[in-house]
Amino acid sequence: VVVDLAKKELATKNGTLPTVDGTTYKTVEDMQGNWENFKFAPIRESQVSRAMTRAYFKDLDTYAESDIVIVGAGSCGLSTAYMLAKTRPDLKIAIIEASVSPGGGAWLGGQLFSTMVLRKPAHLFLDSINIPYTSTPENPNYVTVKHAALFTSTLLSRVLSFPNIKLFNATCVEDLITRPSPSSPSGIRVAGVVTNWTLVTMHHDDQSCMDPNTINAPIIISTTGHDGPFGAFSVKRLVSMGATEKLAGMRGLDMNSAEDAIVKGTREIVPGLIVGGMELAEVDGANRMGPTFGAMVLSGVKAAEEALRVFET
């Protein structure tokens, strides 16, 4: 018995496991009413480790040279990613998200309320990704999605389904890669990002130095939200490295002016760095809009257009 077990262990080391019992079932319903004989296909723990790590390290290798890096997977970053991947399936797009859970502030409509409000014409973006919404004759200027989580989960699933997108979550952009650029007013262009596990980034003050990793890309799109624990990261870094004199700082809330300003202002602010969503309010001194999300998705649409314009020139 011992020899048999040892042989079996040895055989499984190279992934040759006994045949799968799972073929007994053709559908999930086939399992129902027959749980006594239920059995999973066998596995060796190392197979699980290898399935995860091989794929992740291959992705790290593939995306070390990306075409476009999107920093921040909130409503603006995800909308940008969707538009880019849909238009250009040939581009390698990496999304770097500091949080374990992508989506930023778009899991709720505002405060702790579920419904998400989007002012028209942002409903056209919902049409394009097939998210149902309510539009009433009494309120013709905006639509509502029954739960912000429906918006975010649908957008996220569309984005993650594109083969040319990789989301690196729990990963923080700690710095920008820059190159001298005499033709640029700031003297630099942005040429990539410096990354680290978010938990490492959070512990730089109480652990010895843990050096970061890098991704090279000709275009970075920063959508890290307004100033906060992580927010407005790229534009604050531009100031601290002397590439921008100062930030104007986000102003108080005015829904009408804020949303137009964010969409129209979405642009390349330093060569190689496009800024969209609420991070832009810190650059331009735009108002905030509070819980209306139309500007975030349409800023994403414009950021994608800007990125392709820069990429193609």
Residue 310, SS3 per DSSP: helix
**Cβ closer to ligand AHZ: 63 or 293?**
293
* Of 223, 230, 229, residue with least CA distance to 283: 223
Report in angstroms the alpha-carbon separations of 160 from 73, 152, 170, 225, 294.
11, 12, 16, 21, 21
- Does residue 212 bind ligand AHZ (CB under 6 A)? no
Distance in angstroms (rounded) separating the CA atoms of residues 18 and 217: 45
- Does residue 146 bind ligand AHZ (CB under 6 A)? no
Residue ranges of the alpha helices (H) in the chain?
Answer: 2-13, 45-63, 75-87, 123-129, 148-161, 198-201, 233-240, 255-265, 279-284, 294-312
Residue 161, SS3 per DSSP: helix
Whether 105 has a binding-site annotation, put simply, is yes
Report in angstroms the alpha-carbon separations of 287 from 8, 111, 290.
66, 18, 9
**Contacting ligand AHZ (CB under 6 A), which of 70, 84, 94, 96?**
96
Whether 289 has a binding-site annotation, put simply, is yes
Map the footprint of ligand AHZ across residues 58-87, applying CB under 6 A. Answer: 71-77
Map the footprint of ligand AHZ across residues 176-205, applying CB under 6 A. Answer: none
Tokens 């108080």, residue? Answer: 252
> What's the min distance (Å) between Cβ of 155 and ligand AHZ?
11
**Contacting ligand AHZ (CB under 6 A), which of 12, 147, 288, 311?**
288
Whether 211 has a binding-site annotation, put simply, is yes
- Burial (CB count within 10 angstroms: exposed 0-12, middle 13-18, buried 19+), residue 17: middle
- Does residue 109 bind ligand AHZ (CB under 6 A)? no
- Does residue 265 bind ligand AHZ (CB under 6 A)? no
Whether 290 has a binding-site annotation, put simply, is yes
- Does residue 218 bind ligand AHZ (CB under 6 A)? no
Whether 97 has a binding-site annotation, put simply, is yes
- Burial (CB count within 10 angstroms: exposed 0-12, middle 13-18, buried 19+), residue 150: middle
Region from 141-149, 151-159, 205-213, 230-238 binding ligand AHZ, contact rule CB under 6 A: 230-238
Distance in angstroms (rounded) separating the CA atoms of residues 182 and 142: 46
- Does residue 233 bind ligand AHZ (CB under 6 A)? yes
Map the footprint of ligand AHZ across residues 158-177, applying CB under 6 A. Answer: 172-173
Other beta carbons less than 10 A from residue 59's beta carbon:
14
- Does residue 278 bind ligand AHZ (CB under 6 A)? yes
Distance in angstroms (rounded) separating the CA atoms of residues 140 and 306: 30
Whether 232 has a binding-site annotation, put simply, is no
- Does residue 105 bind ligand AHZ (CB under 6 A)? yes
**Cβ closer to ligand AHZ: 212 or 277?**
277
> What's the min distance (Å) between Cβ of 171 and ligand AHZ?
7
Count of residues interacting with ligand AHZ (CB under 6 A)? 30
**Contacting ligand AHZ (CB under 6 A), which of 69, 85, 104, 177?**
104
* Residues flagged as binding site: 76, 97-98, 105, 173, 211, 226, 278, 288-290
| Residues contributing to the site for ligand AHZ (CB under 6 A) | 71-77, 96-99, 104-106, 172-173, 223-226, 230-231, 233, 277-278, 288-290, 293, 296
